[in-house]
């Protein structure tokens, strides 16, 4: 059974390279850029429904009648919405450090930082990092964001993600909950022990929409669970997916 992997906000499939390689020894793994990210198409639309439709189109294009899906953060909301809308297409679901609920806006500082990088004057990665550091204290966050820098054909730096749409539609995909529905398939929620994205009080809503779900907490990890504790994260995924074959 193939595993389709979707990154989070401002990310791209490259963030999941090591994990994909490791899991690829066990089953086919597809690392996929969400719309408005990485090398995927840019669009002015960015709702959970839009992302779910993209997954459907991807599976249809690759003739996949069913798959295991894994999504982190925004990618987690995308795979949840997909599973609720097209349950027969999902064999098992893995949601990483996000719940179905709505979240208050909390990326304003990052959006402002990104919008402050003027590529008419910024001509190196270091200069871009310097601008971001005025707004973002965490070096790890800056390094994560600058992974999406690339050189355009006219020798200018640019963001791979579509910053205009991500800023304009931010409330649509962060402040909205996943639409209500029920997915009865086997589901694993993976939380970072040092993250606040999945709280104890979220368990009721998770169980309402994903009754056949369990929650595993990965120690020594914040929101970027797979990067901060890759060993325990991979083990949790492997154990979950292999239970089905036992």
Show which residues are catalytic: 73, 223
Q: CA dist 8 to 11, 74, 189, Å?
A: 5, 5, 15
Q: Which residues are within 8 A (CB) of 162 and not within 5 positions of it... i.e. 6 or more apart?
A: 36, 37, 42, 43
Give residue for tokens 């690829």: 24
Cα 66–chain centre separation: 20
Q: Which residues are within 8 A (CB) of 9 and not within 5 positions of it... i.e. 6 or more apart?
A: 73, 74, 107, 166, 174
**Residues 156, 151: Cα–Cα separation, whole Å:** 5
Q: Residue 200, exposed/middle/buried by CB under 10 A (0-12, 13-18, 19+)?
A: exposed
97: left (phi > 0), else alpha (psi -120 to 50), else beta?
A: left
Task: Report the 10 Å Cβ neighbour count for 139.
Answer: 11
Q: Transcribe 162-219 into DSSP letters.
A: -HHHHHHTHHHHHSSPPPS----SEEEEEEETT-SSS-GGGHHHHHHH-TTEEEEEET
């Amino acid at each position: 059974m193939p595993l389709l992997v979707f990154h989070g906000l401002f990310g791209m499939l490259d963030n999941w390279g090591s994990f994909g390689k490791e899991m690829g020894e066990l089953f086919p793994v597809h690392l996929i850029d969400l719309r408005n990210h990485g090398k995927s198409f840019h669009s002015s639309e960015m709702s959970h429904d839009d992302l779910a439709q993209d997954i459907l189109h991807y599976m249809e294009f690759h003739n996949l009648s069913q798959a295991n899906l894994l999504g982190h953060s925004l990618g987690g909301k995308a795979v949840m919405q997909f599973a609720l809308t097209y349950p027969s297409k999902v064999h098992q679901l893995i949601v990483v450090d996000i719940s179905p609920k709505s979240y208050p806006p909390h990326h304003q500082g990052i959006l402002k930082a990104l919008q402050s990088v003027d590529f008419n004057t910024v001509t190196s990665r270091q200069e871009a990092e310097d601008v971001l550091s005025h707004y973002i204290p965490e070096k790890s966050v800056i390094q994560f964001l600058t992974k999406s820098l690339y050189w355009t054909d006219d020798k200018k730096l640019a963001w791979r993600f579509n910053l205009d749409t991500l800023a304009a539609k931010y409330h649509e995909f962060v402040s909205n909950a996943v639409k209500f529905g029920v997915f009865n398939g086997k589901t694993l929620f993976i939380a970072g022990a040092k993250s606040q994205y999945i709280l104890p009080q979220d368990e009721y809503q998770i169980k309402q929409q994903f009754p056949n779900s369990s929650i595993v907490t990965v120690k020594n990890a914040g929101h970027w669970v797979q990067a901060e504790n890759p060993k325990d994260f991979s083990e949790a995924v492997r154990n979950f997916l292999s239970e089905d074959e036992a």
